[in-house]
Amino acid sequence: MPLLLDAPLQRAVGRFVPASLPPTGTFDGQTVLIIGATSGLGLAAAVHFATLGANVIITSRVASRGDIAKQHIEEAAGPSFKGDISCLELDLEHYDSCTDFMIKLKSSLPGPADLDVAIVNGGICSSGKLEKSAQGWEKSIQINTIGSTLIGLLLLGWMRGARDHRSSPAHLVFLTSREHLYPDLNQLSEWSQRKDGILGQVSREENWPSGFWDAEPNYAISKLLLMYTIEEISRLARGPDGDPLVVVNSVCPGMVRTDIGRHISSRSWFHALCVYLTLVITAKSADSGARIYVTAALQPKENHGEFFGYWLAGDLYRRKAATLIDSDKARALQKLVWKEVSEELKANVPELQAGLDGL
């Protein structure tokens, strides 16, 4: 789809809907983990949680970036901040980095009951060039879908065992995007029937439009596939009585001025100008967008499994999601996507080989 035309007006709505007031509530003494918090929304969310009294654990792929982010959060939280900010290394692109991270996380906290909120935020938007991960999948699918699902499963497996030692369930929040409402369901359904499945098809050169006017195709798809796997993670988060042992939610902050479009900008001065103008016209600040992370972390267990954005939630979201989430075709696709992603993870991550239900 041509880059300039691929910007439905609705994406801009959030820019003009006033963001909720600065986050309120207290996280005094609580611990909040934010995966991918060296820049943009994750960094702004870390500042919000620290300001509200939380100890914050952030992650970075590069230790030096984590150190700079840590210093920024401490300064922004102000002199009254008495909590602790720490940074652990994690690269969602690599399975062993995710499992190593869990070992480090477990040794940095007294126990799973001491992790109150985990936010799976890290993600990328690819450039016009198809790049593959070491596992052979297109990179945004590897990071935004498969890696985010893996870390979500590993965190859930650890956190849900702590329910009896907590007065209320902990929270696991995924950053998706309302872009998940835009992929072509018929195309994905057709790909799901091919020998190499959806993961294989979205990683193929011939399915990667490379014309000057083409937008990268996989960001929205990666977030839809993530929505499908979050559905299973939400199911696994329920205890025998159906109550969530960990409250799972997915959120979209709307269009936000961050560096996520840098790979698109790097294609040409024209692309850079388009990204710049799109953000100036349609996007809110990271500080404003990140308020929804706090809202998500305060959701009651009755809202377990729900997606929400600033203005797109509840019945309005369900109407918009009728085709890509709720239709019969979408339901069939969701099962196939979960099968592909969970089989990929079971085959490659020793910690998951015994099966996902027994995490």
Ligand X SMILES: NC(=O)c1ccc[n+]([C@@H]2O[C@H](COP(=O)([O-])OP(=O)(O)OC[C@H]3O[C@@H](n4cnc5c(N)ncnc54)[C@H](OP(=O)(O)O)[C@@H]3O)[C@@H](O)[C@H]2O)c1
User: Which residues of this chain interact with ligand X, rule CB under 6 A?
Assistant: 36-42, 60-62, 65, 90-93, 121-124, 143, 175, 177, 252-253, 255-256, 258-260
Residue with smaller CB distance to ligand X, 92 or 227: 92
Residue with smaller CB distance to ligand X, 92 or 115: 92
b/e code 144-166 from CB counts within 10 Å (16+ = b) = bbbbbbbbbbbbbbbbbebbeeb
Query: What token pair was written down for 255?
Result: 């269009």
Minimum distance from residue 354 beta carbon to ligand X (Å): 25
Tell me whether strands 31-35 and 117-120 are parallel, antiparallel or unpaired: parallel
Residue with smaller CB distance to ligand X, 210 or 285: 285
Residue with smaller CB distance to ligand X, 126 or 334: 126
Provide the 3-class DSSP secondary structure of residue 170.
strand
Minimum distance from residue 241 beta carbon to ligand X (Å): 32
Question: Exposed, middle or buried: residue 330 (CB in 10 Å: 0-12, 13-18, 19+)?
Answer: buried
Minimum distance from residue 258 beta carbon to ligand X (Å): 3
Specify the amino acid at residue 25. G
Q: What is the DSSP string of 177-227?
A: -GGGG-S-HHHHHHHHTSTTHHHHHTT-GGGS--STTBPPSHHHHHHHHHH
Which residues make Cβ contacts (< 8 Å) with residue 104, sequence separation at least 6? 88, 89
Tell me whether strands 307-309 and 246-252 are parallel, antiparallel or unpaired: parallel
Minimum distance from residue 50 beta carbon to ligand X (Å): 16
Whether 15 contacts 257, CB under 8 Å: no
Minimum distance from residue 34 beta carbon to ligand X (Å): 9
Residue with smaller CB distance to ligand X, 14 or 128: 14
Whether 144 contacts 219, CB under 8 Å: yes
Residue nearest to ligand X (CB): 40
Minimum distance from residue 283 beta carbon to ligand X (Å): 6
Residue with smaller CB distance to ligand X, 37 or 247: 37
Minimum distance from residue 148 beta carbon to ligand X (Å): 8
Residue with smaller CB distance to ligand X, 41 or 245: 41
Cα dihedral 344→347→349→355 (10° resolution):
90
Query: What token pair was written down for 153?
Result: 């499963």
Whether 256 contacts 312, CB under 8 Å: no
Residue with smaller CB distance to ligand X, 7 or 255: 255
Minimum distance from residue 6 beta carbon to ligand X (Å): 14
